[in-house]
Amino acid sequence: MKAADSHEAMERMLSAYLDEELTQAEAQRVELHLQECASCRTALDEMRRIQQLTAQIPFHQPPDAALEAIEQRLSVQAPRRGGWALLVIGIAAWIVYGLVQVLRHPRWPTVPELIAAAVVIGLLLLFVSVLRQRLLERPHDRYRRVKR
């Protein structure tokens, strides 16, 4: 028997053998040693069991799924924020435009102007109500969490 095939040398190679990191020749030497060494067989069995147990531990959340959730949230939130920003800018522009027109040429508004005013005021009311709801919900949640 060669010195490299000693029990100690084989024992050190067991984990690499289990992970299939050995060359074919090395693996064969380990297999030959395993046939005649009960101690190494037991050690290998133990390693296998530990490896199987580790493989069974479920991850908290697979990284891919977490990334997907973030991406989805971004792709939903980004257009929504853009929509809100445009809405706010549009409403503000209409109000400024309307005020300037009224101050420059005081007259009764035309029907299209009344319709535009109704749309702007309606959107403004919706916007304010959503904003109020958000502002009311946030501190309420925090207060509850602190209390419990």
Give contact residues for Zn ion (rule: CB under 5 A).
7, 37, 40
Q: How far apart are CA 17 and CA 44, in angstroms?
A: 9
Give min distance, CB of 6 to Zn ion, in A: 8
Give min distance, CB of 12 to Zn ion, in A: 10
Q: How far apart are CA 39 and CA 22, in angstroms?
A: 20
State which residue, 6 or 101, has the beta carbon closest to Zn ion.
6
Q: How far apart are CA 99 and CA 106, in angstroms?
A: 10
Give min distance, CB of 33 to Zn ion, in A: 6
- Which residue blocks in the chain are alpha helix, DSSP H? 7-18, 24-36, 38-56, 63-104, 111-147
State which residue, 37 or 116, has the beta carbon closest to Zn ion.
37
State which residue, 13 or 40, has the beta carbon closest to Zn ion.
40
